[in-house]
Structure formats: structure tokens, C-alpha cells
Amino acid sequence: MIRGHRIKELLDVQEFIEKIKYYNKKDITCSPHTFFRLSEKQRLIFSCEDLRNIILDKVPVQVGLQYNGNYAITYKHKKSFV
């Protein structure tokens, strides 16, 4: 794994939720890289709109700050979706 993608530190989930609570869907853009960590099946199921809803409406299991300055956010999912 490239060092930049590794998690440098774990962040408090509630602090992350507080940080994004004033965001709305138009504030979140999707690029081809948005789907990079998803499996092929997940890429067929989840649209950009779905991912925006997950980020804004679901509580993450874990939030980490990567060496590259990006967030790595883990959400609980149903096995039937992957």
C-alpha cells in the first residue's frame, strides 16, 4: 500500500460527524477516484448519490486521517450488498 493512503491517525467519529453536519449533497463531488476502493459489484450498485447519502446520513464505524490528508471512513454494510 502506498504510504499516502495509510491511516496516520484515527479520529473521533463524533468529531467527524460534527465537522460534516453542515454539508449538503451539492458540497460533495464525485470523481472516478471516488469509486476506487469499492469492489466491482459495489460499483454497479452504488451511485454517487448513494455515496453522498451514506456520508451524510449514516454513522461511520471508524474515521481515519491518511498521510495524504484525505479521510478514510468505514461504514457498516449488509453482506448482501457486496
Q: So where are the chain's domains?
A: 3-76
61 pLDDT band, cuts 50/70/90, is very high
Q: Is the pLDDT of residue 28 over 60?
A: yes
Mean pLDDT of 8-13: 96
Say what the pLDDT of residue 80 is. 57
Q: Does residue 33 or residue 73 have the better pLDDT?
A: 73
- The pTM of the full predicted model, rounded to 2 decimals, is 0.79
The closest of 54, 27, 23, 25 to 38, measured between CA atoms, is: 54
CB 75, CB 16: distance < 8 Å: no
Say what the pLDDT of residue 49 is. 96
